[in-house]
Amino acid sequence: MTSAQTMLNRVITLSMLASMLAVLTACSMTKERDPLTPPGVIVSPYDATQGDVLWAVIPPLNESGTSIADSARIGDAIIAAVQEARGIRCLPLNRSIDAMRSLGFVNGIETSSDAHQIAEFLGADAIVVGSITAYDPYDPPVLGLALALYARPGTMAQASQASLDTRMLTSAFTDFGTTSGLRFAGEPVSVVSEHLDGRNHEVQYAARTYAQGRSEHQSAMQWRIYLASMDLYTEFAAHHTVGRLIDEEWLRLSRQPVSIGAYD
């Protein structure tokens, strides 16, 4: 009787070991089927032999028509997107806000010269000025962003006092300098405007691409989590728009002869 019990115990033990081995094997196979995927990275066109270029971001002006759009939160998302780009560093938003206060721009900037003064004050190579053109946090989310990149001029006298109308940031880059009232000596070097509607399949495809390497493949929502959370959608929208801005910089620099500086 004792011998039979011993054999039964051995069979049970072997069965348990076999089950555990099967579970471990299944887990191992699952991990192999779900490898880590590196996210897409934005690469700047600037010569990095002298180090990364330095950008600063002014809190975007809220022109969305709704007061629930958080300019500081979206400004932080823009900065995070710039920081992710290779070859560019970006100052924290608080540094830009402190600079604006120190220079007396409590109510925001009004001229292109103001933007250049802030860049000069911060020691930044360029400054991003933007506006929130649309904001709807409900399903499906909508976020519109317009960004203009101002390079710091060699001298402050180069910047004119022409009025800076942030509503005109939605104009095409080729329109700048041709529209009445936009004759800047220090006009933006690149301008982009994006209206990202979560219903749009092209936007959804861009969100799915952005989610690769940033979301769990095995999660229930997978990449659609970036459409379900406005905070995550804002991160995606900022990354997408900053990427478009840097694409414009690639195009701009490709049309210019070889230069010494990043923004020459």
Quick one: which of 191, 73, 212, 90 has its CA closest to 143?
73
Q: Are strands 190-197 and 88-90 parallel, antiparallel or unpaired?
A: unpaired
- The two tokens of residue 106 are 């409590």
Q: Residue 59 has what DSSP assignment?
A: P
Quick one: which of 181, 193, 89 has its CA closest to 148?
193
Average confidence score pLDDT of the chain: 78
Quick one: which of 151, 182, 154, 149 has its CA closest to 168?
182
* pTM strictly above 0.95: no
Fold of 41-197+233-254: Rossmann fold (3.40.50)
What are residue 132's DSSP bridge partners?
A: 62, 145
pLDDT category at 159 given cuts 50, 70, 90 is very low
Taking each helix axis from N to C end, the angle separating 93-102 and 71-84, rounded to the nearest 10 degrees, works out to 120
What are residue 127's DSSP bridge partners?
A: 56, 150
More confident: 107 or 27: 107
**For residue 177, what pLDDT is reported?**
35
pLDDT digits (tens, 9 = 90+) for 44-92: 998 878 788 999 999 999 999 999 999 999 999 999 999 999 999 999 9
Least confident of 41-50, 86-95, 250-259: 250-259
